[in-house]
A and B are shown apart, each in its own frame.
Chain A
């Protein structure tokens, strides 16, 4: 079964133009028609975890939702289950699961420790191979029960796909409420599935474009709170804020370097154009990377920190460029019809995600880092701002249908065939995906 799913993913990776599949076993691809484009999700049975209260079912519901939304798994309806699991330490009756075509089976139990912590154990079974693939246990405070579920989902995803999961992660974003011409914007943070929303600002001034530090519980974002729009840092746990640098004009479009030591951003010049700078957060030294009479903005580092992609209109309209991290060798890479902006380098290093405007529509797409192999994953009336899941297989962005009044968050995977809404009570924009939590 493992090989079966790896084959599926190998095909998905080929379809997505990825090259990092060298670790997968060489297998004939003829059995699956890539052009037909249907990647059959793996049927999996996720039983309610045993518990003395409802927590077991809650956890299995979260695991089920995570795996379902990935598009790679097809959780089987519990009503079809034959065997009722009553002891998770015994092997299941594999025939009962094979007959409903459950290729994988998840069982577990949740109990409370003497000190009040939850203890969750689970096993993943290969039903056709009649063997256990995973047996693990987790401990957490009861208020973190959702994180246990996401970690279990990550564990299953990783075991069956050979790739890192992305479920135990958070999203920082802009919560938007009120009418469009008086929109209140607040910094907010939530789990990747939309649960546990908390607000990090009160909405009295405009805040935009929050981005996670790759190394600390910290975000960088832009705020109008001083009157002059500027880039700030915010410690998520303490609420402590700090202005990034003392620049003579507006700063915007911040992102961290991969080592978390620098912020790269745009600085407005006196002539009305914008250039790209970095500031080292320790030494406070700044460095200019671009110096052009044009708009240079939306910089994003490659994961090894050696290169930067950015938007510039130096050629007449917004297009995507790549340069060395010292500003050397600035080269345009987007040449399709239309304009391109918001480039974001994949955590795998092989792709750049972008927003493309063409024919009155907004598209989310990816291209290789030399600009070749462009693929459009999602098209809509108004959508932008892709952010990568830490495993580089899924993008989140914000989208607004004509007449809908405001934006909502969505995800799309690299095949472009699995687009999913992220539920939110109010409007939401500018999502940024965290690394996997520690």
Chain B
């Protein structure tokens, strides 16, 4: 469709009909955590993903706009590395996340940096690099949804997800 003419002239205008097709895509699953599983410590089979989540801890947290591994996170990651080194059948995806207090694209980059810092720490503790991959979800997958610091601090996280034996 095109603009125009003065009333005197006689233009022909053809309108464009825009046909839209729907785009298909695959979905991904969010990881479980201890609360979701309803498990207490020690209930899980050693070497199972429940064991990892409940007895080791599958996630660490970060300060605002930081990808530095805090000392509490170092303790968790050291335990993760021990466990992962014992149960070598798992491939691992490190998910990096950010809270909502940043802009979307920057937070995708920030989540990626957190995932990489977590991966590098695990490699430093002996986990084979070829078992590890990373992904960033930026601020797109919060686990806590309130509008204050109590939730934001839970969302600034890196989650170590086990991809299953031999996969």
Cβ of A22 under 8 Å from chain B: no
- Answer whether A252 and B27 are a contact pair too, CB < 8 Å, given A137-B7, A238-B21, A438-B2: no
Q: In the complex, which residue of chain A has the Cβ closest to the Cβ of B22?
A: A202
B103 near A384 with CB under 8 A, answer yes
B28 near A227 with CB under 8 A, answer yes
* A313–B4 CA distance with the chains assembled, in angstroms: 49
* A236–B67 CA distance with the chains assembled, in angstroms: 38
Cβ of A430 under 8 Å from chain B: yes
For A430, list chain B residues within 8 Å (CB).
104
Which candidate, B46-54, B71-79, B81-89, B140-148, is the interface stretch facing chain A?
A: B140-148
- Answer whether A239 and B28 are a contact pair too, CB < 8 Å, given A138-B3, A181-B141, A274-B112: no
Q: In the complex, which residue of chain B has the Cβ closest to the Cβ of A154?
A: B3
- Interface size of B in residues (CB-CB distance below 8 Å): 54
* A329–B100 CA distance with the chains assembled, in angstroms: 32
List A156-183 residues whose CB lies under 8 Å from chain B: 179-181, 183
Cβ of B11 under 8 Å from chain A: yes
Cβ of A4 under 8 Å from chain B: no
List B74-133 residues whose CB lies under 8 Å from chain A: 100-106, 108-110, 112-117, 120
* A414–B156 CA distance with the chains assembled, in angstroms: 35
* A205–B117 CA distance with the chains assembled, in angstroms: 26
For A253, list chain B residues within 8 Å (CB).
105, 108
As a 0/1 sequence over residues 204 to 243 of chain A, the CB contacts with chain B under 8 angstroms (1 = contact) are 1110110000000100001111111100001011110100
Cβ of B42 under 8 Å from chain A: no
Contact partner of B135 among A200, A229, A298, CB < 8 A?
A229
B101 near A357 with CB under 8 A, answer yes
For B35, list chain A residues within 8 Å (CB).
none
A205 near B25 with CB under 8 A, answer yes
List B1-30 residues whose CB lies under 8 Å from chain A: 1-7, 11-13, 15, 17-28
Cβ of A20 under 8 Å from chain B: no
- Answer whether A183 and B109 are a contact pair too, CB < 8 Å, given A200-B20, A201-B22: no
A317 near B65 with CB under 8 A, answer yes
B143 near A271 with CB under 8 A, answer no
Contact partner of B100 among A135, A224, A355, A382, CB < 8 A?
A382
- Answer whether A205 and B22 are a contact pair too, CB < 8 Å, given A250-B112, A311-B106: no
Contact partner of B18 among A140, A208, A237, CB < 8 A?
A237
Cβ of A92 under 8 Å from chain B: no
B105 near A297 with CB under 8 A, answer yes
A217 near B18 with CB under 8 A, answer yes
Shortest beta-carbon distance from A418 to chain B in Å:
24
For B102, list chain A residues within 8 Å (CB).
318, 341, 357
B104 near A209 with CB under 8 A, answer yes
* A342–B115 CA distance with the chains assembled, in angstroms: 22
Residue among A139, A225, A317 with the most chain B CB within 10 A? A139
Q: In the complex, which residue of chain B has the Cβ closest to the Cβ of A296?
A: B109
Shortest beta-carbon distance from B100 to chain A in Å:
6
- Answer whether A139 and B101 are a contact pair too, CB < 8 Å, given A187-B23, A317-B65: no
What are 22 contact pairs spanning A and B, CB under 8 A?
Answer: A117-B15, A139-B13, A140-B1, A144-B1, A144-B15, A151-B1, A181-B144, A200-B22, A201-B25, A204-B27, A227-B26, A236-B20, A238-B21, A239-B21, A252-B105, A253-B108, A270-B116, A272-B116, A274-B109, A341-B102, A342-B106, A382-B100
User: Which A residues fall within an 8 A CB radius of B?
Assistant: 117, 121, 135-141, 143-144, 147, 151, 155, 179-181, 183, 185, 187, 189, 198-202, 204-206, 208-209, 217, 222-229, 234, 236-239, 241, 250, 252-253, 266, 268, 270-274, 295, 297-298, 311, 313, 317-318, 339, 341-342, 355, 357, 381-382, 384-385, 402-403, 429-430, 437-438
